[in-house]
Amino acid sequence: MRREEEEREKALAEYRELSRDLTPFDAIPVPPKIKIMASNFPTPIDITDDEDRTILT
């Protein structure tokens, strides 16, 4: 139980450090676990890549 609390505090401290100077208009990167096809989050499309170009048409 103590280890879980330490990990939680460590993650919270990291979150506070990363989000300290953010405004509502700053872009926040999508977490890596979200980048799967079954998620509701849109993935960025690079229009210079020929494979991704077919997604747009």
Summarize pLDDT for 8-45 with one digit per residue, the tens: 888 888 888 887 877 777 776 656 555 555 556 666 66
Give CA–CA dist 9/2, Å, rounded.
Answer: 11
Predicted confidence at residue 21, as pLDDT, reads 79
Number of domains in the chain: 1
Tell me the pLDDT band of 52, cut-offs 50, 70 and 90.
low
Residue 3 pLDDT > 80: yes
**Which H or E run contains 9?**
helix 2-18
Q: Which domain holds residue 35?
A: 2-56
Tokens of 43: 């993935």
Residue 4 pLDDT > 70: yes
